[in-house]
Amino acid sequence: MKIKMKNSDSKSDPKKVKAKSTAASGLRELFVDQLKDLYWAEKEITKAMPKMIKNSTSEELAQALTNHLEETKVQVTRLEEVFASIGEKAVAKKCEAMAGLTKEGEEIMKGTQEGVVRDAGIISAGQKIEHYEMASYGTLASFARVLGENEAADLLEETLAEEKNADETLTQISDSINVEADEEEAETESQTVSQKK
Ligand SMILES: [Fe+2]
Ligand SMILES: [Fe+2]
């Protein structure tokens, strides 16, 4: 099926993005570029997660994050397998999105008192990361399929399933933690009221 292109107006339109000299001209190049980005992102996550684990007070949350950290380390080597399967060298390219997401995670921790409220914040930060990963792996698996790189696609889908699973686990844990975090606030409020009396 041929895709109908919209009429392109003048090239001098300032809203039009000018491509760099190294810009991808085909899907394969775009695929490899984004793979490098994701490789950097996964490595970054392995550095950010220990801090999230240290700051979690819920045993269940700390355990879930620890399990996923171990899984993430395997995902890094799996991406190396993806590179190898398409005959490319494994190269990491800074992922601005993941740099931002992990930085935001730090901000959330700084912005919350240690305890269930920070736990709720850590879950929110973790789920934003998982969703970014899900979008990335889903897209890259689809690119790989179209490119006929089936081994790469299988590997990427394997990780995609793990990311979805990690996200679901966090949702389950948040069910009780969010409620507790809300009760925590109610307690603090009543303490403030009794102090004022
Ligand atoms: Fe991952
Ligand atoms: Fe993940």
Query: With contact defined as beta carbons under 8 Å apart, do 31 and 147 qualify?
Result: yes
Query: Residue 85: pLDDT above 90?
Result: yes
Q: For 27-179, CATH number?
A: 1.20.1260.10
CA of 133 to the centre of ligand 2 (A): 6
For residues 66 and 183, what is the distance between their CA atoms, to the nearest angstrom?
26
**Closest listed residue to residue 124, CA positions, set 171, 66, 81:** 171
**Closest listed residue to residue 155, CA positions, set 82, 68, 72:** 82
At 138-195, the pLDDT tens digits run 999 999 999 999 999 999 999 999 999 999 999 999 999 999 999 987 777 777 666 6
Residue 44 amino acid letter: E
- Rounded to a whole number of angstroms, the distance between the first and last alpha carbons of the chain is 74
Between the alpha carbon of residue 89 and those of residues 16, 60, 84, 154, the distances in Å are 32, 38, 7, 19
Residue 143: Cβ within 10 Å count: 20
CA of 31 to the centre of ligand 2 (A): 20
Residue 169: Cβ within 10 Å count: 20
Q: From the CA of 156, which ligand is nearest?
A: 1
At 39-62, the pLDDT tens digits run 999 999 999 999 999 999 999 999
Residue 30 amino acid letter: L
CA of 47 to the centre of ligand 2 (A): 12
Query: Residue 9: pLDDT above 70?
Result: no
Query: With contact defined as beta carbons under 8 Å apart, do 114 and 55 qualify?
Result: yes
Q: How many CA atoms lie within 13 A of 152 on its CB side?
A: 26
For residues 157 and 155, what is the distance between their CA atoms, to the nearest angstrom?
5
Query: Residue 197: pLDDT above 60?
Result: no
Query: Residue 25: pLDDT above 70?
Result: yes
What percent of the chain is modeled with pLDDT above 90? 85
CA of 125 to the centre of ligand 1 (A): 14
The H-assigned helical ranges of 86-115 are 96-110
Query: With contact defined as beta carbons under 8 Å apart, do 137 and 37 qualify?
Result: no
